[in-house]
Amino acid sequence: MEKRARIIAKAIAIAVVLIIVYVFLPTISSLVENPPGATYMILPQKIEFQFERIIDISARTYTINLTIPTDSQYQKLSVEDVSSYPKSVHNGYNRTWWSYSLSGASQIRIKYTGTTYTKVWHIKSSDGVDKIPENLKEQYDHREYLENCGTLLYVIDPEPFKDITNNITKGDSSVVGKLRDIYDFIVENFHYKSERTGAPNTAVETWNAREGDCDELSFVFVSMARSIGIPAWVEYGFLYDGSTWGQHAWVGTVIPHDGKLDYVNIDVTAEVGRKDLGRGFLIRDPFRITEWVEDGNSEHLSSYYNFLIYTSPPDLTYHESINVLQMNEEGQEKVFVGNGIPSWLMLLIFLVIILVVIVIIIRW
């Protein structure tokens, strides 16, 4: 009788342990996903903003085509033209733009009002490149040029990077692993250079210089990713730097995992030239607005860059400024970056603890 009671007591004790594990499963899962020792940063869950973009321009005659951001799952906004100049509205190849044909001195004023949201992709493992749809590879996995004064600048050029990227990513078979390898290499080996006049350097020129601004560094990342069959592209828009909004560019790409395809963002300028923590890897902070996602077509890319068409270049003056009217942050999201205890080791620790407790109960 006593033996039976002990067996029942042990069974009850084991059941209680398993129930406790079940109750705390979300906490355990969180610790496995974001193990102790990992660095984290706090981002607002969303921001509400309003700013005015002021463009002062003067030339004999000119046409200016301004790309206007539209709503997406990461941004909701309205854009108001508060100047009085006539314009035409155009839509095409995933882009909306306002076209002004003017002469002399003009001041165009545009007010942006809206809300942007934080998005973090928690993708620890993924499928290989073979799981990426072929239509996306056909759309993006090739070189692209900018037409500048009759010259074709191949700013995105995968072929020269193929052997380099294969060597850098040879230790990873998954898409997310290869993307992280490319990210780490650029962050650790390049410097951010914010000031530039004229057309951007090509990916090869930026590689050789080991420095570049946001779109030049993005060209390098995109070229490397495309060279090993991963579709990637440049996204263009605005970034809030803590005091004002300015033009910015970052990377978009895809990761196949768990039977689905995630469209993700990567921004190498978040920490380029400093210690790698992953602050720009699979993180879209709320301090950015997307204007246009390039579509793999060189003519469309050239059109975006060549937004100003004018005569008599010596007479041209152009200046942009931003007047921030409102910036309100709401909520907080803890985003883990960097390296802590490996997730597999955290899982093993929990399994060993549970097993030890059960053995102690059985031997009791």
Structural tokens at position 244:
């004002």
Q: Cβ distance 359 to 17 under 8 Å? A: no
pLDDT of residue 1 exceeding 90, the answer is no
End-to-end CA distance of the chain: 17
Quick one: what percent of the chain has pLDDT higher than 90? Answer: 70
CA 106 to chain centre: 35
Residue pLDDT, tens place only, 313-354: 668 899 999 999 999 999 998 887 765 555 656 567 767 777
Interatomic CA distance for residues 67 and 237, integer angstroms: 9
Strand ranges, E, within 241-314: 245-257, 260-266, 283-284, 288-293, 308-310
Residue pLDDT, tens place only, 257-272: 999 999 999 999 988 7
pTM, full prediction: 0.85
pLDDT at 272: 76
pLDDT at 15: 79
Residue pLDDT, tens place only, 33-75: 656 556 778 999 999 999 999 999 999 899 999 999 999 999 9
Residue pLDDT, tens place only, 159-201: 999 999 999 999 999 999 999 999 999 999 999 988 777 789 9
Residue pLDDT, tens place only, 217-243: 999 999 999 999 999 999 999 999 999
Burial 95-128 (b: 16+ CB within 10 A, else e): bbbbebebeeebebbbebbbebbbbbbebeebbe
**For the structural domain made of 120-303, what CATH number should be given?**
3.10.620.30
In the chain, domain spans: 2-38+343-363, 120-303
